Amino acid sequence: MAIVTVVFCCVGALAITGSLYHIDKELLGWWLCERQVKSGGLNGHPEKLPNVCYSWWVLSRLIMIDRVQWIHKEKLVKFILDCQDKEKGGISDRPDDVVDVFHSYFGVADYQLVAVACLSLAAKVEKTQVPLLLDFQVEESKFVIEAKTIQRMELLGLGCWKV
């Protein structure tokens, strides 16, 4: 099991019990941000390859401890989208691997979590113009989850997304 999944459970439990004050948020935030590799993806612990599912485990905790602004969100979105099978649909664990239900689910969830992170950051600095997930889709369609990915997930019974 990757270390980030254990961190996910521990930080979640502390949040549920109102005990996040026990965490050194600077140190934990630094360690979580160190999970981002050059490709933009996130790994589970040092020397491990990046994986779409780790984006969920890491990104959600960074949001919880208010340190999500410390990672490069556009690179993360690009990594997730590079894991798509644009012809058949679906998302794999990393680029050029075989797609599967687990990583397709987490890939779409991660993509939405980035949008939530942008909204959260905008609200904290009281911006009047909030970046939307659509903002990632403007430049030459490089940040787009393909309709086939969502359709494939619907066929597999994973969610209520409509294209």
First to last CA, the chain: 35
By the 8 A CB rule, do 49 and 94 touch? yes
| pTM for this entry | 0.75
Q: What is the pLDDT of residue 4?
A: 87
Lowest mean pLDDT among 24-38, 71-85, 97-111, 149-163: 149-163
Q: What is the pLDDT of residue 112?
A: 83
What percentage of the chain has pLDDT greater than the value 90?
A: 47
19 falls in which pLDDT band (50, 70, 90)? very high
Name which of 80, 101, 84, 89 is nearest 148 in CA terms: 89
Q: Give me the mean pLDDT over the 102-106 stretch.
A: 91
Q: What is the pLDDT of residue 158?
A: 46
Q: What is the pLDDT of residue 122?
A: 57
Question: At residue 3, does pLDDT exceed 80?
Answer: yes
Cα pseudo-dihedral 109, 114, 116, 119, rounded to 10: -160
Concatenated DSSP letters of 44-111:
SSTTPPP-HHHHHHHHHHHHHTT-GGGS-HHHHHHHHHHTB-TTT--B-SSTTSPPBHHHHHHHHHHH
pLDDT digits (tens, 9 = 90+) for 23-76: 999 999 999 999 999 999 999 989 899 999 999 999 999 989 999 889 998 899
The CA distances from residue 33 to 42, 48, 59, in Å, are: 8, 14, 9
